[in-house]
Amino acid sequence: MSSAGLAKFETPIGTCAIAWGPSGLLGVQLPGASELAALARLQKRYPFADEAVPPPAIAAIVARIAAFLGGASDDFADLPYDFSQVSDFEAGVYREALAIPAGATSTYGAIAAKLGDRGRSRAVGRALGHNPWPIVVPCHRVTGADGKMGGFSAPGGRATKLRLLEIEGALAPESLPLFGAAP
């Protein structure tokens, strides 16, 4: 049996999946077109992981994700992310996304500026498009500078992004970058 595992789990928005390893959380997958789609995507991404019953620490994360998708507030900043699977730049983007509080949004450009180069906003968007931890690393909280939603690579695309922002209460006009304080 591998030291890495993966499992599917039920949430208020459908069947999600989670992958973990000895160094922490490898990935989270949003629901797909079928009950097994999320698990299949993680199996493809982490072929070295075996389907398993989550250990207690991972089961606690699963419970937090399900509660969050049901409307509970959580910032997930304390989770044990395994950043060894991503580049240093991507890890920086994901850490900046983790700093965005639930119910708030930021922009691709603001994250790029915090990383030292506002001109890298497209690179920030690409990194968020490859986010291995959607939901818990809140790429859905990042929008375009003009207040538009921008892309969302998870199944359901922008509709899923809007649903997540709605769950968090982030859709009030004053909370979007176009209307809120400058980043």
Give the residue numbers annotated as catalytic, written as ranges: 139
Distance of CA 2 to the CA centre of its chain: 25
SS3 29: strand
Q: What is the DSSP letter of 98?
A: H
Contacts for 122 with CB less than 8 Å, ≥ 6 apart: 108
The residues near 86 (Cβ < 8 Å, ≥ 6 apart) are: 94, 130, 132
Tokens 């072929």 correspond to: 47
